Amino acid sequence: NAGVTQTPKFRVLKTGQSMTLLCAQDMNHEYMYWYRQDPGMGLRLIHYSVGEGTTAKGEVPDGYNVSRLKKQNFLLGLESAAPSQTSVYFCASSYGGAGNNEQFFGPGTRLTVL
């Protein structure tokens, strides 16, 4: 049982390049989330999904796109990277609904945009 995994762990991009971050969970969770973490700003929600085939915008969605084609995977895309997107990105999942709402986080992806 791997929990929540993220790939890659580190990445350096040049301004204007694109990339996709992959999040995978093996807990059969309905809800998945992408956050970015910047010093002093806490965890800010980028996009989230409440089930396979669904996505919704969070607090800071501009410059990012997501897809949830399979229940276990949640992809975060940057179409044209900007230095302001330099951050640590965390994926999380949870059961959702009225039950246990504990969020399980992945190990994070450290992204630097030059």
Partner 1 sequence: GENVEQHPSTLSVQEGDSAVIKCTYSDSASNYFPWYKQELGKRPQLIIDIRSNVGEKKDQRIAVTLNKTAKHFSLHITETQPEDSAVYFCAASIQGGSYIPTFGRGTSLIVHP
Amino acid at site 84 = S
Judged by CB under 8 A, the residue of 45, 61, 71, 77 near partner 1 is 45
Judged by CB under 8 A, the residue of 27, 41, 82, 114 near partner 1 is 41
Answer yes or no whether residue 64 interacts with partner 1 by CB under 8 A: no
Cα angle at 19 between 36 and 81, to 5 degrees? 65
Q: Which is nearer to partner 1, 48 or 85 (CB)?
A: 48
Cα angle at 76 between 72 and 77, to 5 degrees? 140
Report the nearest approach of partner 1 to the CB of residue 63 (Å): 20
84-113: which residues touch partner 1 (CB under 8 A)? Answer: 90, 94, 96-98, 101-103, 105-108
> CB atoms < 10 A from the CB of 107, how many?
12
